[in-house]
Amino acid sequence: MSNLPDSLVVVPLENKVLLPSVVLKLTMKGKDASNLTRKHFRLSEQRKAAYVVVIPMKQSAQPSMPSQDDAAGDDKTLKKSASSNNGGDTTSTSLVKQSSSQVADDQLLLEPHERDLLYDYGCVARILRVQRSGLGVFSVFVEGVSRCKVDKLLPPGYEGMTTATMAKVTYLESPVKQQMEDVKDDLIAFRALAKEFLSKIRELQLPDHLTAQLSKLIDNVSPLTLADLLVSVIETSFEEKLLMLSMTDPKERLVKASEWMTRQLHVLKISEQIHSSIEGKLSKKQREFYLRQQLDAIKQELGESDDFSGGKDDDEMVQLARRLKDANLPEEAATVAQREMKRIKKLQPSSSEWSVARNYLELVADLPWSKKSEEVLDISLAKQQLEGDHFGLDHVKKRIIEYLAVAKIKGDLKAPIICFVGPPGVGKTSLGKSIATSLSREFHRISLGGVRDEADMRGHRRTYVGAMPGLIIQGLRKVGVNNPLFLLDEIDKLVHSTHYGDPSAALLEVLDPEQNNSFADHYLNLPFDLSNVLFIATANTVDTIPEALLDRMELIHLNGYTFEEKLHIARAHLLPKQTTAHGLELNQVQIEDHVLLKLAENYTRESGVRSLERTLASVVRAKCVALADLRESGKEHDYNPRVDLQDLEEILGMPGKGELQLTGSLGDVIKESAQIALTWVKSHAYALKIVSSSDQNIVEKHDVHVHFPSGAVPKDGPSAGVTLVTSLVSLFSGYYVPTTTAMTGEVSLRGHVLPVGGIKEKVISAHRAGIRKIILPYRNRKDVKQDVPDRVQQDIEFVYAKTIWDVLEAALIIGDTEKWTTRAFESHL
């Protein structure tokens, strides 16, 4: 080896040993690492190699952390296995000792006490290839070439290396031919031992390509080289590998390698015995499980019957197969179910796919593909049902009867989808229940309020974890028949156009009689016929329903109840219901009609009857308390079941609290105008002759509710000030305003009428609507003269007001104002 350099860069290797013919991956960094890689590339161009000396190093106080990279080599070299106790000959090292802190390159010198940690023997290694791993970091692949003895360490700066340590080495010559002849018998014995080891090599869980390379090397390489390779593979200690590195006598190396190989074989044999012993102690249940798996595999290979047999899961699958057979599935559904059954029989019950497939098959078996309920289309019975369940709503009942009559004559219910539109509490949902009862159909309510995901309607695809069918398929599974009545409640509360999709788009197919005969749910992934399902929808408003969806429905508007209708509903339905619900007899709560009317007029303010029902519940609870107190004191005979007006005030308090409620999508300015208007009317109620005393409060026992129509349209601005004052005065005084009179203007707390904008547009619009008198602020007079067309000015009487009193005198039909102006000055206007 005279052609190899004897002064080499030292690569310290902590607690690892590189032997000849073994390939090792090193991670190097620093300035000298860059110099070394450049030297490698320069020599590679000259078809030469760069060399380093890899010297084992005793463990220091702060050892460097090895990397997780596996040793690697090319097709002609052997990769080191990760099965050795050193974690494999893969490390992360530098040309100098690494520290846990970041230090400058010029400080990366091996200290004198660190040099003492290096062993006297090392391995000269050839650099095979270099890869850049990061900024200033290189992955260097080296192959052991020859054992060497370290003669001395050279000072820093030798041969241009600034921080790296270099060493003077002496190569240990290979054994001569005569020495090899002397150990011929040992060579034959070692090769046989290596073949025996190879037969059990799988116990080490080495990669297949490594096993294949070892098989070739046993017959094709020198026994001494094979000894180095196998010692690197089997479980040997750091000290044993050091001993192998330092030995030069071939006989000693073969003897030691054979000794360690024999020890490894002994360990493998003991492991086999332990494994066999454990297998022999398997429980009867486990052994039966393995045998059944083998039996199933044999049956599949022979193509024999796939019937389930034995075990709880098998019994359930037999029942599931029977249910699928009895479900009378359509051809396409039957094909899919049969395919899934074959698939599930090949899966383990403990696997997640088995559970997913089973849940799907159970859904297919549960769906009412052909099961119907017997329908009764009796018009007289439907009339009785509707009259018994609902009071009033005559036009609604009439349309429902017409709907059912057409269905009876035509023979099916593929008529337009009905949508009940009306305020809350007027009986939309209960009407749907009554229709289902009159038809003898199953009833299912689907609440659409707040639904924001299209998958809620169509279901989730089975590829997702926790996938479920949609609300439509779930409802059909629950009712168990394919001709129920589905009530799509609060269809106007659907959330539209989210990144989850638009659920209203899924309803387009559901509510179209021409398309819903093959409704496709994402989870079911089979067409299902919804043509027999009767859909009825409910909504509070149609403003938020998409036009395409609205086009598929026939709207039936439900107006609010009158006080007389509320009185009848309370007498016939609500009061008996609440009395029974609270455990009282019907004769233990007696409320006269005038008391019920007082409840409806003064204590509730709604179109429906829900607040009225809650108020009645409060009255019934108060009677429960009174009866319970008398029973405890033994005076039950003194109980009075009657409820009069005085009792209402004691139970519910005063009817009103003088509050102002505003509705109709209003802005802050218009809300403030309404508050100013009410404040002005309250302070001038005596001047307006609304009250008989200046100390009276007109809203002490009443609430005031002001609603601006077209609630979905936002409204704001001060222009409605005078109109609000006039409306409140008309409300409290009983004087009316002609329908041909219009007004605009802002009002102040002291009653001054202030100018507003947009006079031309307002006047022209009023003229188009047939208005003949318009009251405007005095300071807007010039806007009329300048902007309003002469023809419009000739058709309309304009009244210009400076104060709100001018507006009231011009607007209200009183007959005799009785000197309101005088009263106005007396009230300090």
Binding-site residues for ATP: 422-429
Do 609 and 575 meet the contact criterion of CB atoms below 8 Å apart?
no
Active-site residue identified among 81, 199, 762, 782: 762
C-alpha distance from residue 336 to each of 85, 320, 726 (Å): 54, 14, 73
Catalytic (active site) residue 785: no
Do 179 and 150 meet the contact criterion of CB atoms below 8 Å apart?
no
- For residues 432 and 419, what is the distance between their CA atoms, to the nearest angstrom? 10
- For residues 700 and 732, what is the distance between their CA atoms, to the nearest angstrom? 13
Do 521 and 470 meet the contact criterion of CB atoms below 8 Å apart?
yes
User: What region does 545 belong to: left with phi over 0, alpha with psi -120 to 50, or beta?
Assistant: beta
Q: Please, which residues have CB within 8 angstroms of residue 412's CB and are 6 or more apart in sequence?
A: none
Catalytic (active site) residue 762: yes
- Residues annotated within a binding site: 422-429
Residue 39 dihedral angles phi and psi, to the nearest 5°:
-65, -40
**DSSP string of 769-812?**
TT--EEEEEGGGHHHHHHHS-HHHHHHSEEEEESBHHHHHHHH-
**Partner residues linked to 141 by β-bridges:** 25, 129
Among residues 188, 194, 199, 200, which one has the least CA distance to residue 227?
A: 194
Residue type at 444? H
C-alpha distance from residue 702 to each of 461, 608, 660, 686 (Å): 57, 20, 9, 17
Q: What's the token pair of residue 181?
A: 């002849």
Q: What's the token pair of residue 634?
A: 């033994």
Active-site residue identified among 719, 727, 748, 782: 719
3-class secondary-structure state, position 710 = coil
Alpha carbons within 13 A on the beta-carbon side of 588: 21
Element (H, E) at 810: helix 804-811
Runs of H (alpha helix) within 602-644: 610-632
3-class secondary-structure state, position 29 = strand
Please provide the size of the chain in residues: 829
Query: Other C-beta atoms within 10 Å of 240: how many?
Result: 17
N- to C-terminal Cα distance for the chain?
Answer: 122
- For residues 173 and 488, what is the distance between their CA atoms, to the nearest angstrom? 93
Q: What is the CA radius of gyration of the chain?
A: 49
- For residues 31 and 39, what is the distance between their CA atoms, to the nearest angstrom? 13
Among residues 599, 602, 594, 611, which one has the least CA distance to residue 560?
A: 611
Q: What's the token pair of residue 22?
A: 């073994």
Among residues 569, 592, 246, 560, which one has the least CA distance to residue 423?
A: 560
Angle (CA) 214 219 224, round 5°? 80
C-alpha distance from residue 698 to each of 271, 654, 679, 729 (Å): 100, 14, 11, 11
Do 725 and 806 meet the contact criterion of CB atoms below 8 Å apart?
no
Q: In what order do the strands lie in the sheet with 553-557?
A: 443-447, 485-489, 534-539, 417-421, 553-557
Pairing relation of β-strands 137-154 and 121-134?
antiparallel
Element (H, E) at 148: strand 137-154
Among residues 648, 650, 577, 653, which one has the least CA distance to residue 609?
A: 577
Q: Please, which residues have CB within 8 angstroms of residue 323's CB and are 6 or more apart in sequence?
A: 365, 366
**DSSP string of 429-442?**
HHHHHHHHHHHT--
Residue type at 639? Y
Catalytic site positions: 719, 762
